[in-house]
Structures are given as C-alpha cells and as structure tokens.
Amino acid sequence: MSQAYVDFRVQPGAKQTEVVGFYADSIKIKVAAVPQKGNANAALIEYLSSELGLPKDAIQIIRGHFGRNKSVSFEGLTPEEVKRRLIS
C-alpha cells in the first residue's frame, strides 16, 4: 500500500471539528478540542479516521505535534485521494 503525506493547518478550540478549505498549500481544519495534553492532535486523528474511513492507526502525525502546521501520513491513500475526500 502507498503512504501519503498531507499538510494541515489546524485551528484548535473551535465550536465543531470541520474542514474549512485551504490555507496556502495545506488543508485547514478547525478542531473542537483544546491544544493541551495532545487533545487537539487526538481529535484531528479521530476526525480524519471518521471522514476517510481509515483505522486510527493508519493515520500518523509525522511533523508538527506542538504547532498548528502538521504533516500527516495516511496508509493506503494517495495525497490526491485524501484531498479529494476531504475537500468536496
């Protein structure tokens, strides 16, 4: 299976978790969790798992654990497929 890397811009503390479009070359996602103790990262993975139909262990934050800009890997999907499924 292929492994995709997609860049995200995450805005924690939102009313609800949702994709809101693009931020430069990244997909912008609002997350309803606060950025404490990994809560926002966990909420991001939970949301992406649900939206993409992938198990949580197939999604991994590879860069940006403590910032808003994150790179995320996906087992089994190309970057184009991830973007197509999230932005439609």
Query: Residue 3: which pLDDT band, with cuts at 50, 70 and 90?
Result: low
Report how far apart, in Å, the C-alpha atoms of 6 and of each of 15, 34, 37, 52, 72 are. Answer: 24, 22, 23, 13, 5
Query: Residue 4: which pLDDT band, with cuts at 50, 70 and 90?
Result: low
Q: What is the pLDDT of residue 88?
A: 77
Give the whole-angstrom CA distance, residue 76 versus residue 25. 22
Is 90 exceeded by the pLDDT of residue 67? Answer: yes
Is 60 exceeded by the pLDDT of residue 73? Answer: yes
Predicted TM-score (pTM) of this structure: 0.92
Q: What is the mean pLDDT of residues 3-12?
A: 89
Which structural domains are found in the chain, ordered by start? Answer: 3-86 (3.30.1200.10)
Residues 6+ apart with CB under 8 A from 32: 13, 14, 15, 16, 17, 43
CB neighbours of residue 71 within 10 Å: 14
